Amino acid sequence: MSTKAHVVDGNRVVATLPHQPFAKEAHLQDLIAQNPHLLAGEQMYPGSDLRFMLVKREIGIQSADGRAIRWSLDHLFVDQNGMPTLVEVKRSSDERIRREVVGQLLEYAANCLKSWPAGKLREFFEQGANSQDHINKLLGPELEVGEDDETGQQASRERRIDQFWNRVDAKLRKGDIRLVFLADELPLNLVRTIEFLNAKFATIEVIGVEIRQYSHGEVQFVVPRVVGVSTEVLEKQRRADPDRGNWDEDSFLDVIHNDHGQAAREAVSEIMDWCRENRIQVGFTNSKSGSFVPEVPRGKRMVWPVAINMDGRVKLQLGHLAQRGGGMEPLEAREELLRRLNGFLKERIGLDRSSAQPSFALAELTSADALKGFLKTMDWVKTQIQSSLASQGIPNSS
């Protein structure tokens, strides 16, 4: 079903833009490969905010006898939870999207286990360019160095990256994969097929993603939309994998309230409000014992100053701040952060912890004065992180 976009000035529509199919499939393929966020992971499951990283394009899959490459998958991604995601791209004008693409992607799924033994996906990924930057962006706080790892930071990071790729291999062996049909417009019959497959498969997720293209003057823009995931399927997936940890604000606040009381819930809610007011993303780690992580934009990168854990602790990411760039790299800046916190915390933190991950009780922030002091400190941290960009003449993405 073709759609239109409308340009509004005040209360008046000043332009109506028709959906423009992509002229070439290669353009759509390139767009997804260079911009994995267009897979719209934030739409796939409420609160999940899935992030994707490209492993390889045009990846070969062997036939059943294992003797020759028979198929070529358009894109293979992994998300931050380690789930392999097979993406097949077609234009709406391609007749194969009506029927053949379903059998095509299912054949890929059925034969990829034999084609990709343990360690193969990591091998594909590491053959690509800028792989270290890509995995840093994907895993984010998961690569942070703990208090007991300060003397072996690089070894700790490598160990956590090893653990991530082990998760990828484990999911692949279990058949815990995601299949994505992607086009500029998906026909209704394919959407119905996606819904049917999702309802029947136990471990395989099937997703439809539309990338609709519009233009206004010299400005071109695209709008991604996830289709084919019903409420019943979401509930089935949640019951099948209770550790998925698809947290959103409401579910996270509910756990804080149940485990730590209404005052703690209100404190966390106010911190989330502060994030929105300051154009800071409210992020979550996707695990059973999740964390709320304010994500401060610094150019095209994100910096995570603190993590509020479900266990009722507020963890300072000082080691991360020392390495991430910006105004918090100098030791003096991190010591100043601790001095500011110690001005209102009862559980004081020694300045010798300025490159570690010290924490304090969330209960400390249930005091109005302490919460005010914390938010004022976060204002200072945000300014420090972003100030170095202005001095270098680099625009901030926020």
Domain ranges of the chain: 4-240, 249-390
Tens of pLDDT, residues 129-150: 667 778 888 887 666 655 445 5
pTM of the model: 0.60
Counting every residue, how long is the chain?
A: 398
Give the 3-state secondary structure of 58-79. Answer: EEEEECCCCCCEEEEEEEEEEE
Half-sphere exposure of 145 (CA within 13 A, CB side): 22
Residues of the chain with pLDDT under 50: 147-148, 239, 242-243, 390-395, 397-398
pLDDT at residue 394, rounded to an integer: 42
Q: What is the pLDDT of residue 21?
A: 80
Bridging pattern class, strands 12-18 and 52-62? unpaired
Q: What is the pLDDT of residue 355?
A: 77
Query: Could you give the CA distance from residue 158 to residue 147 in angstroms, rounded to a whole number?
Result: 16
pLDDT computed for residue 237 by the predictor: 55
* pLDDT confidence of residue 311: 86
Identity of the residue numbered 184: D
Longest dimension (CA), the chain: 69
First to last CA, the chain: 34
Percent of the chain with pLDDT over 70: 83
| Burial degree of 40 (CB within 10 A; 0-12, 13-18, 19+) | middle
- Residue 321 near residue 310, CB atoms below 8 Å: no
Token output for 225? 């939309």
pLDDT at 30: 92
How many angstroms separate the CA atoms of 77 and 93, rounded?
25
Write the DSSP symbol of residue 3: -
